[in-house]
Amino acid sequence: MSKSVQSLYTYTFLLPAGVIYALFFLAPTFLSFFYSLTIWTLSEWRFTGLDNFAIFLSEPSLVIGFRNTLVYATVSASLKVVLGFLLAAFLTSELRTKGFLRSLIYFPNIVSTIAVGIMFSSFLHPSKGIVNVLLALIGIDGPDWLGNPSIALLSVALVDVWKGVGIAMVIFIAGIQAIDRQYYEAARIDGASSFDALRHITLPLSRSSMNTVIMLAFIGGLRSFDLIWVMTKGGPGFTTDLVASIIYKQFQGGFYGIATAGNVILFLIVSAFAIPLYRIITKKEVDL
Amino acid sequence: MNTIKMKKLIIEIIATLLALALFGVPFYFVVVNSGKDAAAAARMTLSFPETTQYLDNFRQVITASNSMLIRAFFNSFIISAATIIVLIVIASSAGFVLGRRKGKAVNIISFLVLAGLMVPPAIVPTIWLLRTLGLYKSLTGLILVEAAIMFPFTLLLYRGYVTTIPRELDEASLIDGTGPVKMFSLVIFPLLKPVSVTVTIINAITIFNDFVHPLYFLPGAKNATVQLTLYNFMSTFSTKWNLLYADVLIISIPPLIFFILFNSKIVSGMVAGAVKG
């Protein structure tokens, strides 16, 4: 009986998906390893070994992309984790406006990145932008958020947090709502404060949502392109270039081999973090 | 007791005001400034427009560069709709088999699909492939690439739901002598409707808002998508903030309608996809 039921789950059902996914995602990924070792015009290629990678690792305007990508992903992901968790803890308590607040904070997620980038480019205008106008009201001379090389990258990372904290929040909310209420009652009877409950019940039992948020936010951060491209185009100079924006610049310049090497490097960076991060955080999960 | 309640109320009021300031004011700013004239919008204030010219601004945005925006809306709708249809067909059938079968082959396939959730797509080789197939700079080419890129996420949603459908249904149709294709399309696929709805909503917003893939795979004026026109308007309208804001407003309307209609579905779908990934 069960053997013949298996015949209903025919592998032919995988064929349409397999063809599209293999052709338009897997094949280019495998090809990228080869073409990253060439000088490539799309119609012709010449093998050059690891030259493209050497250029990536020696050219200062390209090397800066590694540092920036790591800083950007770390800053935006850690803020999303911390703020997303606190917002979720607050918005799962008894509040009249919690439905409204959840929607409000989630809303930037469905607005396009380009639109958000344009909005914040004007808010962060050094003299007229509302951020600095408001800071001036309380006597602070606001900086040139996007024009000052030492803070431009962080400014964009903060905008990324503003746009993306809502998704972190709803993932945490789902996790917190799955926690058995009895733990909280027991803690209250034992005289624990609400901070104690947050620290010793909510936080450890949200571990699996936290893992999801860390993975999503960090890997999303490593791959970021559009927000930085709309807001700074990698400038001033190359100070906010990410690996993904460097790939685009090399592509625009017609350096297809170097652009593809950048793609392979991004692939390796993402895998280098994704695989161990996935192992570590799945091990630490609390069993109860 | 009463002072505790009072304290809670005050905290709630402060939190609500803070959230409104941080998340509401930016959108309010765009709405008021898209109705001003260029000089007033350039002052970048939160004040209400003295003379509103919404219709005039919208008309200028829509008719700019030979009514590029209309073409862009048309293209974006076609791309989103076609990609979603392709995704529903390929991911529901694949999700069914992968949700039912076990074994080494299924594990390898699952790994390859999971990798697609994290790894960035290889840009130039994809362009080379599209060129070789004669699909570069065509809507069809972008639709197929978007479908491949959104496939892992969509598949996970379907596969997760398939495991909740009792296998007795399969056995019953086996006894009836129904073949796999008929069984899937008449029995299983209708039961997957909740996932199909979620998949449609989430992919519609993601693909409509996508900027990177049209930028690489669909260059050229007649191929504009809404996000590409918005990006290009940044240089065309660099001094006319009122028109830029009006453009932001117009382009955000379709996702906004989706958000109002399907708020809870969007959130639960995003969470389900994220957690399973």
Task: Please report whether residue A248 resides in a domain.
Answer: yes
What pLDDT, on the 0 to 100 scale, is given for residue A227?
A: 96
Note the pLDDT of residue B239: 77
If contacts are CB pairs under 8 Å, which of residues 174-233 in chain B contact chain A?
174, 180, 183-184, 205, 208-209, 211-212, 215-216, 226-227, 230-231
Select the residue of B91, B230, B241 nearest A114 (Cβ to Cβ).
Answer: B230
CB contact under 8 A, B205 and A35: no
Q: How far is CA A192 from CA A184, A206, A207, B236, in A?
A: 9, 19, 21, 60
Chain A nearest CA to B116, separation (Å): 8
Whether A267 is in a domain gets the answer: yes
Mean pLDDT of the region A100-113: 93
Residues of B with Cβ-Cβ distance to A251 under 8 angstroms:
123-124, 216
* A175 C-beta neighbours (distance < 10 Å), count: 24
- Domain spans of chain B, in order of start: 68-276
Beta carbons of B12 and A114 less than 8 Å apart: no
In the prediction, which pLDDT does A243 show? 94
Domain count, chain A: 1
> Which chain A residues are Cβ-neighbours of B44 within 8 angstroms?
122, 125, 128-130, 133
Tell me which architecture the domain covering B68-276 has in CATH.
Answer: Orthogonal Bundle (1.10)
Which residues in chain A touch residue B109, judged by CB atoms under 8 angstroms apart?
Answer: 14
Share of chain A above pLDDT 90, in %: 70
pLDDT of residue B273: 61
Q: Which residue has the higher pLDDT, A286 or B39?
A: B39
Closest CA to B275 of B267, A137, B215: B267
Chain A: residue whose CA lies nearest to B206: A110
Mean pLDDT of A169-182: 91
User: A250-279, pLDDT tens digit by residue?
Assistant: 999 999 999 999 999 999 999 998 888 767
Chain A hits for B94, Cβ within 8 Å: 13-14, 16-18
Q: Evaluate if residue A288 carries a pLDDT over 50.
A: no
A2 occurs within a structural domain: no
pLDDT at A282: 59
* pLDDT number for residue A283: 62
pLDDT tens-place string over residues A20-68: 999 999 999 999 999 999 999 988 899 998 999 999 888 888 899 999 9
pLDDT at A1 (0 to 100): 45
The ipTM assigned to this model is 0.91
Mutation choice for A interface testing from B123, B243, B244, B264 by most A CBs within 10 A: B123
Q: Which domain holds residue A209?
A: 31-283
Angle at B255 between CA A220 and CA B235, to 5 degrees: 75
CATH number at residue A84: 1.10.3720.10
Is the CA virtual torsion B171, B175, B180, B181 positive or negative?
Answer: negative
Q: Which residues of A touch B274 (CB under 8 A)?
A: 167, 171, 212, 216
Which contacts qualify for B125-128: CB closer than 8 Å, 24 or more apart? B125/A27, B125/A28, B125/A29, B125/A31, B125/A32, B125/A35, B125/A260, B126/A24, B126/A28, B126/B216, B126/B217, B127/A42, B127/B216, B127/B217, B128/A28, B128/A31, B128/A35, B128/A42
Per-residue model confidence as pLDDT tens digits over B118-142: 899 999 999 999 999 999 999 999 9
Q: What is the pLDDT of residue A286?
A: 46
For chain B, 277 residues long, give each residue's pLDDT as a single digit of tens: 578 888 888 989 999 999 999 999 999 999 999 999 888 888 888 888 778 889 999 999 898 888 889 999 999 999 999 999 999 999 999 999 999 988 888 889 988 988 888 899 999 999 999 999 999 999 999 999 999 999 999 999 999 899 889 988 888 888 888 888 888 998 899 999 999 998 999 899 999 999 999 999 999 878 889 999 999 988 877 778 899 999 999 999 999 998 888 877 777 776 666 655 4
**Does A25 fall in a domain?**
no
